[in-house]
Chains A and B, each alone.
Chain A
Amino acid sequence: MPELPQSDALREAGSGADSLTELMSRDPAGLSAQDLDRLIDIMRGQRENWAKMEAQGGRQKKPAVPTASAEELGL
């Protein structure tokens, strides 16, 4: 059975959420410029996913590629 087209994106979103959790749980004093750029990129990825979902007219639906909420991240 062929894989659902959204599964890659979901995997990416999942790994993004893991990185986000890890970065957000670290003492900011220890974050490098690269860490901050990675955090910014994760947020940009969420924005792209959200924009795609909005463009598909899914405002009332759950996003196909969810952006992680603070609760989901345990923050």
Chain B
Amino acid sequence: MQSLEERLKGNGSFSSSTPGLRLVWSGSSIGTLKKCFRYYELSNLQGWSLPAAQVDLAWGSLVHQGLELYYKGRAAGFDHQGALRSVIFWALANTWDKELRRAQSWPDSKKNRVTLIRALVWYLDQWQDDPLRTKLRPDGSAAAELPFGFLIDHRTSDGVNYMLQGRLDRLVEIQGQTFISDFKTTGGELSERYFSQFSPDDEFSLYTFAGEVAFNEIASGIIVDALQVGATFIRSQRQLVSRSRDVVQEWYRELSWWLDAAEEAARRGSWPQNQQACSMYRGCEFRGVCSRAPGARQAFLEANFIQKPMRAGFGQED
């Protein structure tokens, strides 16, 4: 078994003096930490996930990349059909196994090659006359899939500044106001309950904060484009999630408390369970791990989960 020190060796996102102390944080890693320190240790530091989560991640990433290609194509002057055709070709080519000369096999009824093509066509057709106009960057390219990273004032006890990083899906404009557009996919219903999960939410607070710090854009809110994915259908719904500056400032102030707590946990080499979170979020996937005796957990993890390799440095999503 690889130790945490070996796993994180040479990774610029982590402190070289305190093993396990993350210096570069994303909305996802902050949210994971706040949910449960043990969950953060297992999923983020050690990289364990259920095989199905890997499929969700890969499928969602392909949809995001397809949309980015579409928005960039439209900004470059392609009409809807031309841009869509390019996206579909790209999606087919990226899910084709060249060695086996056959379509990649996706072991999921909702997240597979057919539903990927369906999602792109249905969603992009629905919003081909989108009232949200993608903003243009100074170089004329579409403001889509925008990576950001910036240092913040808060520091480790060794005096190293923390960094926040992430990626905005799209900066859009409507009626003279700027919004951050964020695309989500889910297998569940697009209910009020679904949309309520974004207020409060670390990722969206970070995005609003980053809009101003990294892109000099004061966003009036985040427009969530949610896509419900079924085996035979796609349903899309759009909703505005507001984030006032006061709320974002409060989030940023409180972030320093969590970063200090993470440093303390890393120094102790101990990431405690938050047992009140085990039943939340449709039940924690690591419940079966934490409910076992400490000595039996590693074998259970290895038998039921996949361990992702650690990706190093800034620009790598965590």
Q: Give me the interface of A with B, judged by CB distance under 8 Å.
A: 20, 24-25, 27-29, 31, 33, 36-37, 39-40, 43-44, 46-47, 50, 63, 66-71, 73, 75
Instruction: Verify B122–A24 contact, CB threshold 8 A.
Output: no
Instruction: Verify A25–B102 contact, CB threshold 8 A.
Output: yes
Partner of B113, one of A24, A36, A46, A67: A24
- Report chain A residues within 8 Å CB of B88: 36, 39-40
Q: Answer whether A47 and B121 are a contact pair too, CB < 8 Å, given A39-B88, A67-B233.
A: yes
Additional pairs, 17, CB under 8 Å, beyond known A25-B103, A43-B117: A20-B114, A24-B92, A24-B113, A24-B117, A36-B85, A36-B88, A37-B85, A40-B84, A46-B232, A47-B122, A47-B125, A47-B234, A63-B232, A67-B118, A70-B106, A70-B114, A70-B115
Minimum Cβ distance to chain A for residue B314 (Å): 33
Instruction: Verify B109–A71 contact, CB threshold 8 A.
Output: yes
List 12 interface pairs A-B (beta carbons < 8 Å), by A numbering: A24-B103, A25-B103, A31-B89, A31-B92, A36-B85, A37-B81, A40-B81, A43-B118, A47-B122, A67-B232, A69-B109, A70-B112
Number of A-B contacts (CB under 8 A): 69
Closest B-chain residue to A29, C-beta based? B93
Q: B231 at the A/B interface (Cβ < 8 Å)?
A: yes
- Report chain B residues within 8 Å CB of A25: 102-103
Minimum Cβ distance to chain B for residue A53 (Å): 9
- Report chain B residues within 8 Å CB of A39: 88, 117
Instruction: Verify A71–B231 contact, CB threshold 8 A.
Output: yes
Q: B101 at the A/B interface (Cβ < 8 Å)?
A: yes
Q: B96 at the A/B interface (Cβ < 8 Å)?
A: yes
Query: For residues 181 through 235 of chain B, which have their beta carbon under 8 Å from a beta carbon of chain A?
Result: 231-234
A36→B262 CA distance, assembly (Å)? 50
Q: Which of B81, B103, B113, B114 gathers the greatest number of chain A CB atoms within 10 Å?
A: B114
Instruction: Verify A66–B232 contact, CB threshold 8 A.
Output: yes
Instruction: Verify B113–A70 contact, CB threshold 8 A.
Output: yes
Closest B-chain residue to A43, C-beta based? B121
Instruction: Verify A24–B114 contact, CB threshold 8 A.
Output: yes
Instruction: Verify B112–A75 contact, CB threshold 8 A.
Output: yes
- Report chain A residues within 8 Å CB of B89: 28, 31, 36
Instruction: Verify B121–A44 contact, CB threshold 8 A.
Output: yes
A66→B28 CA distance, assembly (Å)? 37
Query: For residues 94 through 142 of chain B, which have their beta carbon under 8 Å from a beta carbon of chain A?
Result: 96, 101-103, 106, 109, 112-115, 117-118, 121-122, 125
